[in-house]
A and B are shown apart, each in its own frame.
Chain A
């Protein structure tokens, strides 16, 4: 899926998949922070968005 979205020109940082158990609160927080950091680096998304004018 990631490779396919990349092929369509979507930045891979925007699509991340992780396996987190219900008891892994710290891991969830770490991964979320990581995801947000990565996405901030790529900047606002213009792709695959419906235009609302």
Chain B
């Protein structure tokens, strides 16, 4: 991947020097060798901070809403999942395509820095996996939208995204409820899942509102589950399956089980549909679009 780092720096330097963009969103080396943290580079002299390696797991597209009120042109590095996030943000009018210079990265799958941190600190005996959990089911390793591209095109693995969902569906209603309540009882309501999410780009989030307060803020299992039900419904049809929510979760709640269920439903009721694949009108999320022949099934 060091080859990609060199190319990434070269591209960033050129873009900043000739004034094509005012800033570059990329990754830099963090506190540990296995951490690559999101960073902003505004000066061509600083491009040597940038890296593109196997730990660049953060979805940079989730940072774009912070710049929605700026007018600066932004260069952004985008893996397959990030690029779908960018498409979604453009569709949601958070940012316009002409403000972006997208440097695509054909992504072989990333490693999860959290696993390495846990292993190094002795918190976990498990050996860190070669591929992060969120990358295992990736169907779009290659960017769907870009101005320039790094690396070799990758082949997606077998589509087994819904196996876990099917497993839950085969349980009885009471088993399912008890399973989810148990998982969500761990939630500490840190909202990391929301903050890491590209689909969560509302200016005012209903979970921050206190008048009226839509969902209870205490960390009891029921309010935690209600919070996640509402969040999952809000991103239904807009979730790009980047898996950032689940990765960001400090207590390891299997959040993608909720999102994938809704992806399955939206795909079956309105589909075939997957979010963030293209900028065409037809690719607008079914739940954000008016159609006379709407199947009206979602309620």
Contact = CB atoms under 8 A, between A and B. Distances in A.
Interface of A: 1-11, 17, 47-51
A4 B233 CA distance: 9
Contacts of B290: none
Interface stretch (B52-60, B84-92, B134-142, B220-228): B220-228
Given A9-B176, A51-B220, 17 more contacts: A1-B233, A1-B299, A4-B232, A4-B261, A5-B229, A7-B168, A7-B169, A7-B176, A9-B173, A9-B178, A10-B173, A11-B173, A17-B299, A47-B177, A50-B220, A50-B222, A50-B223
A42 B233 CA distance: 25
Contacts of A1: 233, 298-299
B229 A8 contact: yes
Contact of B225 (A3, A11, A17, A48): A48
19 contacts: A1-B298, A4-B261, A4-B262, A5-B229, A6-B173, A7-B168, A7-B169, A7-B176, A8-B225, A9-B175, A9-B176, A9-B180, A10-B173, A10-B177, A11-B173, A48-B222, A50-B223, A51-B220, A51-B222
B216 interface: yes
Nearest to B165: A7
B98 interface: no
B265 interface: yes
